[in-house]
Structure 1
Amino acid sequence: MSGANGKAEAKGSIVGGGSAMREFMTAQACGVAYGASYTLVSHPFDTIKTKMQAQAGFSSGGTMSAIRTVMAKEGFGGLWKGLWPPMVGSILSRSVCFSAYAGPYAAMKGTPMEQEIPGTGGLQWRVLAGGLTSALARTVFETPLELIKVRKQTGQTFRWNELFKGSATTFLRTWGLMGSFFVMLDYSARYIPEVINAPLAGPFFKGGVIATAAWWLCWPFETIKSQVQAAQSVKGQADVGWMKLARDIIHEKGIVGLYRGIAPGTYRSLLGNGVGMLIFTKLQEELNKI
């Protein structure tokens, strides 16, 4: 990262000061640890979020109402339905998205991409480029696993030829998520390093607060993605295009309808990303000693 004066500075950053290959491999290993811990602590909230967005019978009522319904019909195990696809997906996507950011970011050191974007207060072009490569890589790995997870969580089946259904909305969601996450992280590392570098609060701020803010920015595409990947929309329609789904949601419920499931999604993000980043940071510190 860079300091307020624009000089390179690794402390508090997702990317250290090593070579592109070293940073790529470090981020990949740390991403595996992040992905596993994230899923273990956040999956019940993800199940509730997905049901509220994409399953008939959960299209009204709040988070607690959805939890009570799941517990009454499926028991405690219902909250963990569809765990393994997102576990595998989270491990793959986090290792891929962090390494796909860290490797190119480090490789662009000393190139024109390290130059600051005018009028942005020090943001470098390579932050945006790294965010794009991260989003592309994560979309390829995550789309089929997300579809399987959504179908299992909503009690629906899937066909193998559907695995990349929803890839467009997954990319739009992921580009908004990863791009805004890395940009906010870059600004935070440069302007509030005392927060970012705090031993315990720092990782939770990076993972929990910044990642959750990024989720809020791209949440409409998360809602649409869940409905696109479900075998049927909450209205019982099959194979509805994402733009029509968006129009229908806005027409019936207004913009607020695109934020369906934001409460359990926020709990999931704060807890899962907070714990995940804490594990990521600790492992990164140990690997950087080698």
Structure 2
Amino acid sequence: MSESQRKPLPFSANFAAGAIAGVSEILTFYPLDVIKTRMQLQTGKSSVGLVGSFQTIIREEGVGRLYRGLVPPLLLEAPKRAVKFAANDFWGKKFLQVTGEEKMTQQLSIMTGCSAGATESFVVVPFELVKIRLQDKNSAYAGPMDVVKQTIKKEGLLGLYAGMESTFWRHFWWNGGYFGCIFQVRSLLPKAETQQSELLNNFISGAVGGFAGTALNTPFDVVKSRIQGAIKVPGVKPKYNWTYPALITIFREEGPVALYKGFVPKVLRLAPGGGVLLLVVEFTLGVFRKALGPPYI
């Protein structure tokens, strides 16, 4: 049966595949996320790079600090990635229906990815806030629940959603770049003749998509980290509040390079990480198709 005749897998299969892929990716690349956050929270100019940050954390705080804050994203990763791929599948079908197109196009892939990212952003905000505050070098929190309790006590329940708007833009642009590039790169790669070559194509297209998404969204990630890392003080206006004004503030005070703080560890995680995500998702979906049999194969 050709791919166009094959029946789409149910929502639950896409959800499960995304969840499995997300957990696989974060267990592999998490220390790079800690380094990225530390670099983004540093204001002003800094000469400490990727290797220096690793060495400083290990020397001053121990190896275990590289996994500080792992619990929130690990708990989040399954629903987060599941929502990403399930939403991408959902919006893809909707846009095809609305436009009357029979096959996905580059433009529809970008629109679908942006919509999936916007959907995903609503799920991740509280978990991201907890993770950022635990990863901060100056963090004095006992653990994830301590962050939740103190945030609610000092800032109210809505305090857990600090950075919602910046998180929206971070995921909007990353997913647009990621899924848009995957479509384009797949069309340029030689057609896979074996399962191994198909997995390789998925890894390559996912890695390129991960790089493109990271290049697009890093400035928004810097702003998100600054907003979520700051503790609100009653009567004091936060320095970083809304995304686009914050981008201008950082650009003016610290220069354009500051908008890409943490880019190296971020791209080292999310380029191969994007490849791992797509590879595991497609492999898992293939297992589901075989298990369900015709007409899904």
Contact 1:52 1:60 in 2 (8 A): no
Once the two structures are superposed, residues 194-253 of structure 1 have per-residue CA deviations (whole angstroms, 9 ceiling, x without a partner) of 3798244222213222212211121110111111110259xxx95522444322321233
Q: Secondary structure at the match of 1:267?
A: helix
Tell whether the 8 Å contact from 2:92 to 2:112 is kept in structure 1 after alignment: yes
Q: Which amino acid aligns with 2:106?
A: L
Moved over 6 A (4+): none
The answer to whether the 8 A contact 1:89-1:145 is kept is yes
Counterpart amino acid of residue 258 in structure 1: L
Identity %: 28
- What is aligned with 1:283? 284
Structure 2, unaligned runs of 5 or more: 142-146, 293-297
TM-score by structure 1 length?
A: 0.82
Where in structure 1 are there 5+ consecutive unaligned residues?
A: 1-8
* Aligned partner (choices 1, 8, 18) of residue 7 of structure 2: 18
After TM superposition, the score normalised by the length of structure 2 is 0.80
Query: 1:228 touches 1:240 (CA, 8 Å); kept in 2?
Result: yes
Q: Is the 8 A contact 1:41 1:271 kept in 2?
A: no
Answering whether residue 106 of structure 2 is matched by residue 123 of structure 1, we say yes
- Larger helix proportion of the pair: 2
**2:135 — aligned with what?**
153
Partner AA of 2:240 in structure 1: V
Q: Could you say which residue in structure 1 is the equivalent of 2:181?
A: 184
Distance 1:83 1:134, change over 3 A: same
Question: Are residues 1:172 and 2:158 paired?
Answer: no
**1:240 counterpart residue number:** 240
Q: How many residues align?
A: 268
3-state SS, counterpart of residue 194 of structure 1? coil
Residue identity opposite 1:284 in structure 2: L
- The question of 1:228 aligning with 2:227 is answered yes
Task: Kindly indicate whether the alpha-carbon contact (under 8 Å) linking 1:123 and 1:187 is maintained by their aligned counterparts in 2.
Answer: yes
Q: Which residue of 2 aligns with 1:29?
A: 16
Q: Which moved more, 1:137-146 or 1:244-253?
A: 244-253
Contact 1:51 1:58 in 2 (8 A): no
Q: What is the Cα deviation at residue 114 of structure 1? A: 2.2
- Of stretches 147-156 and 201-210 in structure 1, the one that deviates more from structure 2 is 201-210
Aligned to 1:4: none
- What SS class does the counterpart of residue 161 from structure 2 fall into? coil
What is the alpha-carbon root mean square deviation over aligned residues? Answer: 2.9
Mapped pair 1:138 → 2:117: no
Secondary structure (helix, strand or coil) at the match of 2:106 reads coil
